[in-house]
Structure 1
Amino acid sequence: MEVVSKAASTSKVVVVSNREPVIHELTARGIKAVRPASGLVTGLEPIVRAVHGTWVAHGSGPADRHVVDNHDRVGVPSEHPEYVLRRVWLTRREEDGYYYGLSNNALWPLSHIAYTRPVFCRDDWEQYEAVNEKFCDAVLDEVGEDRAMVFIQDYHLGLLPRMLKNRRPDLTIAQFWHIPWPNREAFRIFPWAEELLDGLLGNDLLGFHVQYHCNNFLDTVDRGIEAKVDYEHFRVFRGGHPTTVRPFPISVDFHQIEHDSDASGVACRLKELQAEFAQTPLKQQFIVGVDRIDYTKGILERLRGFDLLLQRHPELKGHVTFLNFSAPSRTHVEAYRELNDKIDDLVDDINWRHQTEQWVPVQFLRAHHDYSTVLAAYRLADVLMVTSLHDGMNLVAKEFVASRSDELGSLILSRYTGAARELKDALLVNPYDTDGLADRLNQALTMPESDRIQRMQRLRQVVAQGDIYHWGTRIFQEVLQLHRGGE
């Protein structure tokens, strides 16, 4: 952090994201600042605070407009401001086209191998362009005439780097793409492929979670746009401008999650969950899932694996309960509505075939669960299942590991997550292989406690050593190196 602060003394630091780090809400007691649960905020806010930087983001809170000044700025935190939040306002049409349309109905399914067809609409693309231009104006307004380092987040702002570089070639620009990058055969169906690639090649540094996604990006560029790719140094030259491409595996705040999980409030919530779901006097084990309801998360595949486990091991009936803590997501998008219907049908079918008078095998808990409930769910789990069909990283797996200071609990983890490349002591699975899922579940439920503890100890060491601060520091050190090179 000291290195970052020293370098930032001569240059501004600007972070840009769709999601804002603080939302202002109206309450009975007045306006309240709420910090949304976000690994991104956890990793970047300490850096922005340390350098007294600026964070540019979409203002989406109901009271956001009430607290900004004439330049749409607000100090954070409000009592003793350490950085500036600059809000960008979007119309309903802009948000529908840029966020729900192009970002989440096109780029999201395009980037994830989950066999959901992306939807391409010219108007959505035009809104995406317009909103990226709005963000560009806001960033340049904040930078003024100063030298600056700009750090852009995710796939919502894929055109912003080139827009900034065209207007201010002296800026040092980096971007982290938080989702997978597809192979070139998948990406080539995107109607605006060349425009998006050109936008991203406005960056000086472009980061992905894993090397595989870096390789996919370089291969896509090599075959899809006029540019020179240097595979030896993982660099692309477009119009003479170099873009360095690097892997930076994101993580969680290990020590904070560990501390919070041991708090008395979480212990009380854990007792409530145990009392609520201990349906019989028999010894109970809990299989737990925690995720957004999204077709990339493999929720149906997870349920089918549990169903097959009960078919193969009827002696487990009454002894094992499956709990899925699921946050509703993008419910006005057709693909998500269809997924919810399929989940309900499958849960009803499993419960109808396996339940007894005292015991229901699956409890699907659809709600926006608060932080203490999520931590209690992690502590409740004898087995946590992460069965993503495709995931850039998956922080649920790392949060679970960080929460288990008791060194108990088993992690079943999809091979198709970025986390699987680091968490090698998890029980790795192919979520499409229902037989394999059932086998892994049985292995996790019957594993000797000594083996379970040893695996968890090694997992915790990995996550503790590569926490969110390590991620943020590594990226900023690389950005600073590029920044100094441009001086």
Structure 2
Amino acid sequence: MAHSFVVVANRLPVDLNVAADGSTTWKASPGGLVTALTPILEKHHGCWVGWPGSVDSSFEPFHTDAGVLLTPVPLTEHHFEGFYEGFSNATLWPLYHDLIVTPIYRRDWWETYREVNLKFAEAVAELSAPGATVWVQDYQLQLVPGILRQLRPDLKIGFFLHIPFPHPDLFRQLPWREEVVRGLLGADLIGFHLPQSANNFLALTRQVAGATGSHTGQPDRLQVDGTASTREVSAHITASDGRRVGIAAFPISIDTAPLTALSGKADTQAIREQFGNPKTLLLGVDRLDYTKGILHRLQAFEELLDSGAVNPEDCLFVQIATPSRERLEQYRQARVEVEAAVGRINGRFGSLGHQVVHYLHQSLSKEELAGLYTAADVMVVTPLKDGMNLVAKEYVACHPDGSGALVLSEFAGAASELSQAYLCNPFDAESLKRQIKSAISGLGQQDARQRMNTMHAQVMTHNVDLWANSFMEDLNRV
């Protein structure tokens, strides 16, 4: 069956559960992207193409409970190691996050990345109806638009990058920079979270891939778009084949309704009592990734305790660190360092029956997270580099009464929208300590409530539906 709307992403929006008897079931993955795109997929009898999450396994297409067709793309262990763990997450991920760790450039990984992108593109080409719309998601599949343009020139193709796009001087390190840019320019519309990422990409096209703009061989300058949408900037460049490619910033957001419903049911008093009913409850929720700045915030908290600025009897830090890419050395090292810091802080400032830092290296349910968000006095979000960071928005959404405070890294994409947060430089321990202390001291005061109310209004009016609809409207106009 041919489909008029196809979403293609590295992963299908489901997780495979294997029971003790060997039977398998699929469970919907949590996430705003799935929620935002499901109505569009249902309306257009669409299809989602992605890897099912299990290597060396083959699955037939199947439907979700909502009636969306999911088409698995099988990957071997060799594909997974070279395409996902290798080129995607040991080459592109650190490169796109400003070299927080050193990227590894291996030709065999690049060849596997190219091979897997071809597999995805061929699956999409076969499933797409004449003139269909295809929306490609994220850095793992940057070659898919260009391949699809060759296989199916009739398609309307959108691409969205969910992580930052680096400065051209950094990107040009990549040995296969021209191929990646040409792959992206196969799309009709390329979306980024922030104007800075869009500007970086536009500047890059002046130097590689033969892309030109309408004036003296340079891309068009970005112009502020005044329409009432999440779109921040828009521009066009002309690819080497003469097509006009749209470039715009679309800050992604969250699915606010179910989260606020869960937070409204949370028993915050019971949650706080689980932790000994502290006067001040600080919270961090992250994937255990070296870009998230978990170690930096723990070290700052330790220094606050050491100086006496924070009383260990009154203040408790809860850190949720979801397991992530644990076969990669940089991630294993990040875990070692974080858990050593947790042990050291509790050893120095805890007491019998009382931990100063409660640390969980596991995933929590949506209900548990909403409860923690609602119960926490201060949310500490300190990524060293982040495309957006939806955790910050989730916390704000759970405080409609203006309670709470958000300490937020200025290097998180969300900082451009949540400018009323206590913004900090996570590389500067003094900045981190100062803003954490300010957030704690300001709790309950009028200024703090006004900050949270302003941010809450922003999050509630700029949700994930607006993001998805804005992108689709622009793609349809191209």
TM-score, with length taken from structure 2: 0.91
Residue identity opposite 1:352 in structure 2: G
- Quick check: 1:431 aligned with 2:426? yes
How far is the alpha carbon of 1:33 from its aligned partner? Answer: 2.9
Residue identity opposite 2:255 in structure 1: D
Tell me what 2:197 maps to.
Answer: 213
How far is the alpha carbon of 1:320 from its aligned partner? Answer: 0.3
- Quick check: 1:463 aligned with 2:448? no
How far is the alpha carbon of 1:65 from its aligned partner? Answer: 4.8
Tell me what 2:74 maps to.
Answer: 89
Tell me what 1:237 maps to.
Answer: 238
How far is the alpha carbon of 1:314 from its aligned partner? Answer: 5.1
- CA deviation digits over 1:20-42, x for unaligned, max 9? 11234344796433111222212
Residue identity opposite 2:463 in structure 1: D
How far, CA to CA, are the matches of 1:63 and 1:272 in structure 2? Answer: 45
Residue pair 1:23, 1:61 contacting (<8 A) in 2 also: no
How far, CA to CA, are the matches of 2:309 and 2:131 in structure 1? Answer: 67
How far, CA to CA, are the matches of 1:324 and 1:23 in structure 2? Answer: 25
The one of 329, 333, 340 equivalent to 2:328 is 333
How far, CA to CA, are the matches of 2:36 and 2:238 in structure 1? Answer: 30
Residue pair 1:257, 1:403 contacting (<8 A) in 2 also: yes
TM-score, with length taken from structure 1: 0.89
How far, CA to CA, are the matches of 2:10 and 2:88 in structure 1? Answer: 11
How far is the alpha carbon of 1:82 from its aligned partner? Answer: 3.0
Residue pair 2:8, 2:50 contacting (<8 A) in 1 also: yes
- Quick check: 1:183 aligned with 2:167? yes
- Quick check: 1:476 aligned with 2:472? yes
How far, CA to CA, are the matches of 1:261 and 1:63 in structure 2? Answer: 40
Please state whether the residue corresponding to 2:49 is helix, strand or coil.
strand
Distance 1:314 1:161, change over 3 A: closer
Which shifted more, 447-456 or 150-159? 447-456
Distance 1:114 1:293, change over 3 A: farther
Tell me what 2:83 maps to.
Answer: 98
The one of 249, 252, 256 equivalent to 1:250 is 252
How far is the alpha carbon of 1:16 from its aligned partner? Answer: 0.6
How far is the alpha carbon of 1:307 from its aligned partner? Answer: 1.4
The one of 52, 58, 61 equivalent to 1:59 is 52
How far is the alpha carbon of 1:89 from its aligned partner? Answer: 0.7
How far, CA to CA, are the matches of 2:309 and 2:123 in structure 1? Answer: 61
Task: Map 1:346-361 to 2 at 5 A.
Answer: 346-357=341-352, 359-361=354-356
Which shifted more, 414-423 or 16-25? 16-25
Task: Map 1:345-424 to 2 at 5 A.
Answer: 345-357=340-352, 359-424=354-419
Query: How many residues are paired up?
Result: 457
How far is the alpha carbon of 1:245 from its aligned partner? Answer: 0.8
- CA deviation digits over 1:325-369, x for unaligned, max 9? 111111110011111111122222222332344533222211122
Tell me what 1:45 maps to.
Answer: 38
How far is the alpha carbon of 1:324 from its aligned partner? Answer: 0.2
The one of 429, 440, 446 equivalent to 1:445 is 440
Please state whether the residue corresponding to 1:316 is helix, strand or coil.
coil
The one of 141, 146, 166 equivalent to 1:157 is 141
Which shifted more, 147-156 or 373-382? 373-382
How far, CA to CA, are the matches of 2:350 and 2:3 in structure 1? Answer: 63
In structure 2, the gaps of 5 or more residues are 214-218, 223-234
How far, CA to CA, are the matches of 2:355 and 2:63 in structure 1? Answer: 50
Q: Please state which structure has a larger fraction of its residues in helix.
A: 1
The one of 198, 212, 233 equivalent to 2:182 is 198
Tell me what 2:121 maps to.
Answer: 136
Tell me what 1:308 maps to.
Answer: 303
The one of 64, 73, 88 equivalent to 1:76 is 64
How far is the alpha carbon of 1:235 from its aligned partner? Answer: 1.9
Residue identity opposite 1:132 in structure 2: N
The one of 8, 24, 29 equivalent to 1:36 is 29
Residue identity opposite 1:231 in structure 2: D
Moved segments of 4+, more than 6 Å = none
Tell me what 1:15 maps to.
Answer: 7
How far is the alpha carbon of 1:241 from its aligned partner? Answer: 1.9
How far, CA to CA, are the matches of 1:199 and 1:107 in structure 2? Answer: 15
Which shifted more, 352-361 or 96-105? 352-361
